[in-house]
Amino acid sequence: RPHSRPRHPGARTMLPLLLLLLPTAHAIVELTYTPVLTQTPPLEGLTTTSTFVLDQPRCVFGGYDNADIWLVVALDKAASTFNNTAEPGTLETSFQGFPDPVSAYMTLNATLANYPCPKPAGDITVLRVGSETSCAKDETRPTCNGPLPGPGPYRVKFLALQGSEPVAETKWSDPIMLRTAKSPNSISTTDSGHSAGMIAITTILSILFAILLAGLVAMLVFWGSESCGGSSTFSKPESVTVRRYNTHHVYDQPAARL
């Protein structure tokens, strides 16, 4: 088959021929795997404001037992211009220089032994990009997995290096956007409506109070006036009234009053 790229990574006899062709052709295998954010189990912290969580590349780099598998994190716009020959641990790919002037850094060094295949069922196999805060400012640790400096978007891919030669890579992931945090001043607390209960209480009580005040006023205005007295007045049980008087025997008064 007239193809300059070998289909079988294990075909080591092809390697010397490939090395000759290196200046004119891509020597590394592009695997069909695309790095993705973890879908199962559903994670609350899948993307935060400075980290995100990827699935580990299990059963992807089969046969590359001696290779170092690196994660390349790049700005979305710089993904297409990333050079696979870039070496990890140098200034050009250091995390501390990201995003300016470094536009793609390499981190999370691992070997195939870290990603055994097949994945045991029930295990959560993830990579949290951005979890190392202790080395974020440490220039002596250029491969630090430090927290991402902005919301992105970012693209990632896995790159397998043998020695310092890239031998395999995955596809670039879809752009990953991180969360952006708003200021709490944007929360509006003044817009709470009034519930039906509160309106009912206010109106009914106001009406009742108004009626009572009117009644009190009526009482005071008609105090002393007999116009409402009328037919059904009743007398107090013990105190003296001057209503009925008897010109005759005083001793009969008590009996007559009752």
Partner 1 sequence: MAKSDDCVHILQGLLVFGNVVIGMCGIALTAECIYFVSNPHGLYPLLKATENNDIYAAAWIGIFVGLALFALSILGIIGVIKASRTLLLVYIILMLITFAFEMASCITAATHRDSLTPSFFLKQMLERYQKSETANNSDNEVTKTWDELMLQNHCCGVQGPSDWQEYTSAFRLTHSDADYPWPRKCCVLDAQGLPVNLDGCKLGVPGYYNSNGCYDAISGPVNTHAWGVAWFGFAILCWTFCVLLGTMFYWSRIEY
CB atoms within 10 A of CB 244: 9
Chain centroid to CA 189:
21
Residue 255 φ then ψ, to 5°: -65, -40
Residue 257 φ then ψ, to 5°: -65, -35
Which residue in 187, 240, 250, 255 binds partner 1 (CB under 8 A)? 187
Minimal distance, residue 73 CB to partner 1, in Å: 14
Which residue in 9, 130, 142, 152 binds partner 1 (CB under 8 A)? 130
Which residue in 27, 51, 158, 159 binds partner 1 (CB under 8 A)? 51
CB atoms within 10 A of CB 5: 13
Which residue in 45, 120, 163, 254 binds partner 1 (CB under 8 A)? 45
Which residue in 208, 246, 252, 256 binds partner 1 (CB under 8 A)? 208
- Rounded Cα distance between 2 and 187, Å, is 64
Task: State the binding string over 218-247 for partner 1 (x if CB under 8 A, else -).
Answer: xx--x-x---xx--xxxxxx---x-x----
Before 153, cis peptide (omega within 30)? yes
- Which residues ranging from 70 to 99 are in contact with partner 1 (CB under 8 A)? none
Q: Which residue has the tokens 């007295």?
A: 229
Q: Which range binds partner 1 by CB under 8 A, 88-96, 150-158, 162-170, 191-199?
A: 191-199
Torsion angle, alpha carbons of 89, 92, 95, 99, to 10? -170
- Rounded Cα distance between 174 and 37, Å, is 9
Q: Which range binds partner 1 by CB under 8 A, 41-49, 64-72, 96-104, 163-171?
A: 41-49
Q: With respect to partner 1, which residue has the nearer C-beta, 41 or 254?
A: 41
| 140 sits near partner 1 (criterion: CB under 8 A) | no
Give kind and range of the element (H or E) at residue 70: strand 68-75
| 133 sits near partner 1 (criterion: CB under 8 A) | yes
- Rounded Cα distance between 150 and 47, Å, is 12
Q: Which residues bind partner 1 (CB under 8 A)?
A: 41-46, 48-51, 53, 124, 126, 128, 130-133, 146-147, 179, 181-184, 186-189, 192-195, 197-198, 201-202, 204-206, 208-209, 211-213, 215-216, 218-219, 222, 224, 228-229, 232-237, 241, 243
